[in-house]
Structure 1
Amino acid sequence: MSRKITLIATTLGVLFGLCSAAQAETENLRLGIEAAYPPFAYKTADNHIEGFDYDIGEAICAELKVRCEWTEMEFDGLIPALKVRKIDAAISSVSITPDRLKSVDFTSSYYRLPAKIAVRKDSGIQDIPSDLAGKRIGVQRSTNFDRYATDTFEPKGAQIVRYGNQNEVFLDLLAGRLDATLAGSVAIDTGLLSKPEGKAYKFVGPDYRDANYFGMGAGIAVRKHDPLAERINTALATIRANGKYDEIRKKYFAYDIFGE
């Protein structure tokens, strides 16, 4: 009799453990983010993450009635972390590109902005790409900006210098170790041009929107064939319809960034 009781207790314990694990999984959505790309994600003085991406993620979690569990990492680690199941989704201004769609799925786009080049006003750089020959262009490693600069500007004689995050690019540009940077227009405006130390810099050249490189907007990356994408899309549609998206957007931007 005691063996039967022990067996039943053990079975119940296993089932309880499985139920608890499943419940814990549904209560948390593990989100990866790079917190060095203001105003989309950045660290405050007290070491908390804030920004447009972060707030959108929190709004999605609220709609899904789950708790956001944030993991901060470098941008080039987001998709690898997603593929090995360290995170459930990456919300970090990840552009939806044909190349990335080979390995992960995306939700619908939640914003769309062009890429731009910034240089010192007295640099003499005006005609793109001819004036970039022999110049050092800083980009964030493993981004669409990196790919575009490597494929388009490097063959024209530019030297592409890669960094872990965009803040490092700005620091070297300000220090004179770079001649230009290619990045998202808002990231450059917020992280460089709108700051006192950035007054000597300007945008130059066209808007870059080539979908093969800069994608179809920024989406939330999930694993291939994960139904989570549709759940997040439903949440995104809801916060667009009920005004929450616009409430968040107005905290960071005075203009519409959703795109077409």
Structure 2
Amino acid sequence: MSMSAVFAETVKVSWAAEPYPPFTSPNASGEWGGWEVDFMNAICAKANLDCVITPVAWDGLIPALTSKKIDVIISSMTISDERLKTIDFSDKYYSLRPAIVGLKDIKLDATPEGLKGKVLGLQVSSVHQRYAQKHFGDAVADIKEYQTLDEAQQDLAAGRIDAIQADAFALNSFLKAPAGACCELKGDVAKDEAILGHGIGVGLRKGDTALKEKINAAIVAIRADGTYETITKTYFDFDIYGD
């Protein structure tokens, strides 16, 4: 064992215990993989952190962080003004691109007028939930909430709802899968930074300044040395970091 490994700081890292491909998902043996898992491994190595993985249900991540059951959230969590009241974040490590995906045989688009009378599905406790309630709540017939994006996608494929709102990068994975043959991208939603936030960041407890600085430095380093680009090309054929 190297001396650096001996003196590595141990941190408990968590992501949502539900599959969220291509960012995090378990294989048949229960081992987690995906873009965010590879990103986490690169960050932990660069920052000399001994990262212990503890998956937690999506809506339990922030309570687990604030109660010190975990130290870090790496789970495609948006840096939103609402969340910043409770926790802190690293600099962004990829951009959020909220979009609407719907059934191919139903005409709709990502506007209140285009969704009028439709049933829209989304993940509970997400920025998409708050956005849809504000912008589409008076137009749609119903907003159906799901514990996981996967459950929403299953109902969409079965025709039980008309559309879903989620991050386009995750929806792209669904559309490429056999289950997504039912559906197509209907468009990106209009910007609302107050709700949709400032990109995706690593969640941290307020006051964990030293850990935040280590993680921010590691993000800069893996982008500079090509590691970030190499990881991204494994899962995407387009840029996800943005401006």
TM-score normalised over the length of structure 1: 0.86
User: Which residue in the other structure is 2:173 paired with?
Assistant: 190
SS of the residue aligned with 2:106?
A: coil
100, 106, 109: which is aligned to 2:83?
100
Written as runs of structure 1 = structure 2, the 5 A alignment for 1:109-124 is: 109-124=92-107
Identity within the alignment, %: 38
Structure 1 residue 156, shift from structure 2 partner: 2.0
Who is 2:197 aligned against?
215
2:12 is aligned to 30
Per-residue CA deviation, residues 66-94 of structure 1 (Å, 9 max, x unaligned), is: 22111112211111110000110100000
Q: Using a 3 Å threshold, how does the CA distance of structure 1 residues 126 and 208 change in structure 2: closer, same or farther?
A: closer
- Distance (whole Å) between structure 2 residues aligned to residue 113 and residue 190 of structure 1: 15
Give the RMSD, CA atoms, in angstroms.
1.8
Deviations 1:114-166 (A, max 9, x none): 11101111112247212323321110000000110111111224311111110
Query: Displacement, 1:98?
Result: 0.7
State the match for 2:119 in structure 1: 136
Q: Which amino acid in 2 is paired with 1:172? A: D
Question: In the TM superposition, what whole-angstrom CA distance separates every residue of 1:23-78 from its partner, at most 9, and x where no partner exists?
Answer: 99954211110141111111112211111111111111111222211111221111
Instruction: Give 1:75-86 correspondences, 5 Å limit.
Output: 75-86=58-69
Structure 1 residue aligned with 2:130: 147
Tell me the amino acid that sits aligned with residue 202 of structure 2: I
Contact map agreement 2:112 2:140 (CA 8 A) in 1: no
Q: Which residue of 2 aligns with 1:48?
A: 31
Give the unaligned 5+ runs of structure 2: none
Structure 1 contact 29–61 (Cα < 8 Å) conserved: no
The structure carrying a bigger helix percent of its residues is 1
Letter in 2 for 1:158: A
Change (3 A) 1:177 1:24: farther
The farther-off stretch of 61-70 and 85-94 is 61-70
Q: 2-side partners of 1:124 and 1:139: how far apart?
A: 19
2:54 to 49, 71, 84: 71
Matched position secondary structure for 2:29: coil
Letter in 2 for 1:215: G
The runs of 5 or more residues in structure 1 that have no matched partner are 1-22
Change (3 A) 1:157 1:241: closer
1:231 maps to 2:214: yes
2:73 aligned residue: 90
Equivalenced residue count is: 237
Which amino acid is the alignment partner of residue 108 of structure 1? D
